[in-house]
Structure 1
Amino acid sequence: MKLQSLVLAAITALTVNTAFAIPAGTWSVAAGAHMVDPKNNNGTLANGAIDVDVDSDIRPTISGEYFIADNVGVELLAAIPFHHDITLTAGDTTIDAKTQHLPPTLSLQYHFDGYNMPMNVKPFIGVGVNYTTFFKEKIYSDTYENLKLDDSVGVAGHLGLDIPFTPTESFRIDARYMDIKTDASVDVAGKTLDIGEVDISPWVYGVAFVKQF
């Protein structure tokens, strides 16, 4: 009897969860803002002679998600370019630099919908791939010219919480981890030198308004 009761309870729970799932074929769009917060200690250049520090930035973002199965979506995140100031420190010498980048990220996500959570909140998790392209790099130095940061491809993790206020509209809080590492080069006396790897690998924190269709 206990086994039968457990089986019946499990079937009932699955039926309830399926009934309230986000159905396959649903689209959602999220518009908000995110802060790219690079890790501490962004590496060293020139065989350890130069320490690198990359600052954070906040920009508007937008994402679209298509549900390929109940509660399972494929999401693409886009943004306007993020701007980062870079500080290069070699002993008592400090060199300023800066860059812009775009970090489009494609993720496969699972939404925990229909699990009777407080306030009907809907957590989700995801994993995917990030492609970051750098441009408009500048370095302010009498010795180094033409800073160049190579594009980066790495894994990305995503977790968040949707707080609904209508059946198709939600407020989202989320965080992502992006594996972003870029090879740096500069020109010195007319020659291009590879000077090492900059490890940005940020946490990306955001809020957004989400609309389902």
Structure 2
Amino acid sequence: MATLARAARAGAALCGLSAALLAAAPAHAYDAGDWLLRVGATQVRPKSDTGKALDGAVGLHANNSVRPSFTVTYMATRNIGIELLGAVPFQHDVRGSGAVGGNIVDTKQLPPTLSLQWHFLPDSRIQPYVGVGLNYTHFFDTKGRGALSSNDVKLTDSWGVAGQIGVDYQLSDRWLLNADVRYIDIDSRVRLNGDTIGRAHIDPWVFTVAVGYRF
């Protein structure tokens, strides 16, 4: 009887250990053909010295902007993802320094970015990745303010390379938390009444936090 009791206790302990290991096991890894939808908030943070205009007489400085955003990712393999970034239009105030100061331009922009990602720990609950891709930034609703309020101001659209690092934390087989940071090459010509007067080298860091779902 004692032997049977010890065996029963050992069996119960083994069952408990198995249950604990199962609870601690990583969530289901991404598979080829999975779709990931993430929804969150993104901050675009242009570099402090955005550019020059009027032969260097005016410095340009664009402010930060935060907007709701989303990404859609298709997992071509367990390691390779193809991601599209979209967002509500960002709005930036551009301040001048030097010959013309104060808020001189308001503009909105959409920066859709298509990236190829490498997920290098596909079996982990914490799944880091890196990506590289192509960004297209469309500027619109650009208006002169302050000293330029009576002028026609335009910012031309931009094509550039984007780099990315990020991480997914799997809450379950379907739900996840995400954070990533990108650096995007965004350069635009500044036009005043049809004439090019300078270039804006916006080149922002782009920070995102999001909640995601795997289909």
TM class, shorter-chain normalised?
Answer: 0.7 to 0.9
Identical aligned pairs, as a percentage?
Answer: 37
- Deviation per CA, 1:84-124, whole angstroms, max 9, x where unpaired? 011012347435211000000000001123455xxx21101
- Aligned residue number for residue 138 of structure 2: 133
Cα distance in 2, alignment partners of residues 34 and 57 from structure 1: 8
Query: After superposition, where does 1:174-189 map in structure 2 within 5 Å?
Result: 174-187=180-193
What TM-score, normalized to structure 2? 0.82
- Deviation per CA, 1:135-174, whole angstroms, max 9, x where unpaired? 0001124566111000000000111111111122111011
Question: CA 1:93–1:164 in structure 2 vs 1: closer, same or farther (change >3 Å)?
Answer: closer
- Aligned residue number for residue 5 of structure 1: none
Q: Is the 1:169–1:209 Cα contact (8 Å) retained in structure 2?
A: yes
- Greater strand share, structure number: 1
Question: CA 1:114–1:64 in structure 2 vs 1: closer, same or farther (change >3 Å)?
Answer: closer
Query: After superposition, where does 1:113-152 map in structure 2 within 5 Å?
Result: 113-114=121-122, 116=124, 120-141=125-146, 145-152=151-158
Question: CA 1:93–1:106 in structure 2 vs 1: closer, same or farther (change >3 Å)?
Answer: closer
- Aligned residue number for residue 25 of structure 2: none
Q: Is the 1:126–1:159 Cα contact (8 Å) retained in structure 2?
A: yes
SS in 2 for 1:158: strand
What's the CA shift for 1:21? Answer: 4.8
Residue 48 (structure 2) pairs with residue 43 (structure 1):
no
Question: CA 1:172–1:185 in structure 2 vs 1: closer, same or farther (change >3 Å)?
Answer: same
- Aligned residue number for residue 202 of structure 2: 200
- Contiguous gaps of at least 5 residues in structure 2: 1-27
Residue 213 (structure 2) pairs with residue 168 (structure 1):
no
Aligned residues: 187
Q: Which has the larger radius of gyration?
A: 2
SS in 2 for 1:167: coil
Letter in 2 for 1:146: D
Cα distance in 2, alignment partners of residues 94 and 62 from structure 1: 33
- Aligned residue number for residue 159 of structure 1: 165
Cα distance in 2, alignment partners of residues 67 and 161 from structure 1: 15
Cα distance in 2, alignment partners of residues 21 and 169 from structure 1: 12
Residue 109 (structure 2) pairs with residue 101 (structure 1):
yes
What's the CA shift for 1:175? Answer: 0.4
- Contiguous gaps of at least 5 residues in structure 1: 1-19
Letter in 1 for 2:131: G
What TM-score, normalized to structure 1? 0.83
Cα distance in 1, alignment partners of residues 103 and 122 from structure 2: 53
